[in-house]
Amino acid sequence: MSVRHGASGSRTSELVTPRRENSAPGDDHVIVLFGATGDLARRELIPGLFHLAKAGLLPPRYRIIGSARSTRTDDEFRQLAKDAVAEFGLAEPTGEAWDEFASSLSYGAATPTDSQPLLDAVAAAEKALGGHPRRLFHLAVPPAAFTPTIGMLADTGLARNARIIVEKPFGTDLASARALNDTIHATFDESQVFRIDHFLGKESVDNILALRFANGLFEPIWNRDHISHVQIDVPETIGIEGRAAFFEQTGAFRDMIVTHLFQVLGFVAMEPPTSLAANQLRDETTKVFEAMPPLDPTRVVRGQYRGYRDEPGVDAGSQTETFIAARVEVDNWRWSGVPFYLRTGKSLGQKRQAITLGFTEPPLRMFALDAATPNNQLVIDFDDPGWIAAHFLAKEPGATMRLGGATMTFRYADSFCTRHALAGYERLILDAMLGDQSLFTRADGIERLWEVSAPLLDDPPPVEPYSPGSWGPDSTDRLISPHHWYLPDNP
């Protein structure tokens, strides 16, 4: 059964968010991409900026400067950008739209000892625009480069009239997160800082707000009286893809749980904000983090897929987890006693991004049921374009009272025009230019999450082996008992 929007089943949607209508920033901008020759810039940032330009969502006048340690000419960077858009972008880099975008591109190398090429590139871009354009810096660089890059921005004066986008990870523990925030705040006010988590830029994650707070059908039952447990699942089928140096230092918990799944949990569990403005929205997610007791390592399963230690660059005795499942509590009036189960890992049986809310069973069970039949569940798939499905029981046709599982589904792709929909990074880069921090992590919030994580980081359980293509270690089922892991096929 499929539920569609409106009488005709489709409607043109023009990039509307619940906080504001998306529009091009009014200020002229000089955008500097640090790490412009890296994988993130090639796969996401450069194609995303071109998509924004083609959709008319960049400022009327802008310049984009690529920066890295290597020396390149402007034309070489334009060619890199063209190749990136051709391989990873939604539109071909051809025609007038591409020519106009390419003309905005330039390059300025910067190293710890010589930032003059970048300074010259910024000066030339600002002269071409005239006036006083706003500067936006995107730090798509390894964490070790954060401090020297921010120091360079302070020492050269580039930080004036600027905003800064900081990529994950936001530290590796509480001490490093505090040190990073201190470094940032020595140069930038918190209002200028945009800690980016591309999960929060997804339309389907933002739709959690609409689902809860725009519909009287759901908000009254979004609490401990009606919900028995919540599951947030982000399994991946890929391995570490040659990133041993990164993954050995990070692991699945730091890479995915702290940065992504905890943030999604904040959206699911938050109290209704007084408005959808940035301060009010982030206040409520931070309150969720404050209500989370420290993690109990005995309620965490760490796994490592067989063959991980054979990956190039991985230590033969590595205890790094490639899989993590954790039981998390939110100790407040709305959620007390309701477990939140978070699961993610590499080389698993399916690639999904899903939230499952399990509803309490009726007090009196009058029907014989197959325990494996999904029912009493609301599932939110937050992979793009995403869908929402309600699983319930219905009588099967026939003379006997036999029940079967039924599903009502809303699909973004079926119900709205998604031609101009924005990917997570595109949406968040646009928000940063507009100064909207609603979907970005706040300093106190990220520090609280590392504080909650400290017991696990200090005393992690040993990793348990699992086979590639499976669902992780067998003990994962014991973690969620008496509930069951649920991961839907496409409805």
d(CA 351, CA 336): 31
Q: For residue 41, is pLDDT > 70?
A: yes
Instruction: Look at residue 67 in the predicted model and tell me its pLDDT.
Output: 97
Instruction: Look at residue 26 in the predicted model and tell me its pLDDT.
Output: 82
**Ramachandran category for residue 206: left, alpha or beta (phi over 0 → left; psi -120 to 50 → alpha):** alpha
Residue 132 CB burial class (10 angstroms; 0-12, 13-18, ≥19):
exposed
* 35 labelled ligand-binding: yes
pLDDT tens by residue, 362-420? 776 666 666 555 568 899 998 877 888 888 877 778 777 777 777 888 887 766 655 65
pLDDT tens by residue, 72-86? 999 999 999 999 999
**What mean pLDDT do residues 42-67 have?**
95
**Who wins on pLDDT, 392 or 273?**
273
Confidence of residue 5 (pLDDT cuts 50, 70, 90): very low
Instruction: Look at residue 21 in the predicted model and tell me its pLDDT.
Output: 52
**Residue written as token pair 């929060």:** 200
d(CA 418, CA 385): 8
* 11 labelled ligand-binding: no
SS3 142: coil
On the CB side of 196, CA atoms within 13 Å amount to: 26
* 86 labelled ligand-binding: no
d(CA 215, CA 196): 29
**What mean pLDDT do residues 327-335 have?**
97
Q: Is 226 a catalytic residue?
A: no
Confidence of residue 246 (pLDDT cuts 50, 70, 90): confident
Instruction: Look at residue 3 in the predicted model and tell me its pLDDT.
Output: 41
**Who wins on pLDDT, 2 or 356?**
356
Confidence of residue 199 (pLDDT cuts 50, 70, 90): confident
Please answer whether residues 75 and 106 qualify as being in contact, where contact means their C-beta atoms are separated by less than 8 angstroms: no
Q: For residue 12, is pLDDT > 50?
A: no
Instruction: Look at residue 263 in the predicted model and tell me its pLDDT.
Output: 94
Q: For residue 477, is pLDDT > 50?
A: yes
Confidence of residue 10 (pLDDT cuts 50, 70, 90): very low
Domain positions in the chain are 10-167, 200-420+442-480
Residues whose CB falls within 8 Å of the CB of residue 489, separated by 6 or more in sequence, listed in order: none
Instruction: Look at residue 373 in the predicted model and tell me its pLDDT.
Output: 55
Roughly what angle, to the nearest 10 degrees, separates helices 424-434 and 46-54?
A: 70
Which amino acid is located at 68 in the chain?
A
* 201 labelled ligand-binding: no
Q: Which of 138, 229, 260, 391 is catalytic?
A: 260
Instruction: Look at residue 328 in the predicted model and tell me its pLDDT.
Output: 98
Please answer whether residues 391 and 406 qualify as being in contact, where contact means their C-beta atoms are separated by less than 8 angstroms: yes
Rg (CA), the chain: 24
**What mean pLDDT do residues 206-224 have?**
89
**Ramachandran category for residue 277: left, alpha or beta (phi over 0 → left; psi -120 to 50 → alpha):** beta
* Range in 254-258, 405-409, 440-444, 461-465 with the lowest mean pLDDT: 405-409
Q: For residue 433, is pLDDT > 90?
A: yes
**Residue written as token pair 């909650």:** 452
Q: State how far the alpha carbon of 83 is from the alpha carbons of 68, 75, 96, in Å.
A: 18, 12, 17
**What mean pLDDT do residues 4-23 have?**
40
Q: For residue 340, is pLDDT > 90?
A: yes
**What mean pLDDT do residues 113-132 have?**
94
Which tokens hold the place of 487?
A: 């991961």
Mean residue pLDDT of the chain comes to: 89
| CATH, range 200-420+442-480 | 3.30.360.10
Please answer whether residues 385 and 204 qualify as being in contact, where contact means their C-beta atoms are separated by less than 8 angstroms: yes
* 36 labelled ligand-binding: yes
Residues whose CB falls within 8 Å of the CB of residue 301, separated by 6 or more in sequence, listed in order: 323, 324, 325, 326, 461, 464, 472, 473, 475, 476, 479
Roughly what angle, to the nearest 10 degrees, separates helices 46-54 and 74-88?
A: 80
Please answer whether residues 165 and 432 qualify as being in contact, where contact means their C-beta atoms are separated by less than 8 angstroms: yes
Please answer whether residues 305 and 236 qualify as being in contact, where contact means their C-beta atoms are separated by less than 8 angstroms: no
Confidence of residue 292 (pLDDT cuts 50, 70, 90): very high
pLDDT tens by residue, 132-182? 999 999 999 988 899 999 999 999 999 988 999 999 889 999 999 999 999
Confidence of residue 9 (pLDDT cuts 50, 70, 90): very low
Picking from 262, 263, 317, the residue whose alpha carbon sits closest to that of residue 295 is: 262
* 287 labelled ligand-binding: no
**What mean pLDDT do residues 195-222 have?**
87
Instruction: Look at residue 275 in the predicted model and tell me its pLDDT.
Output: 87
* 351 labelled ligand-binding: yes
Confidence of residue 31 (pLDDT cuts 50, 70, 90): very high
Instruction: Look at residue 295 in the predicted model and tell me its pLDDT.
Output: 98
Domain 10-167 sits in CATH 3.40.50.620: no
**Who wins on pLDDT, 365 or 25?**
25
* 346 labelled ligand-binding: yes
Instruction: Look at residue 416 in the predicted model and tell me its pLDDT.
Output: 61
Please answer whether residues 255 and 247 qualify as being in contact, where contact means their C-beta atoms are separated by less than 8 angstroms: yes
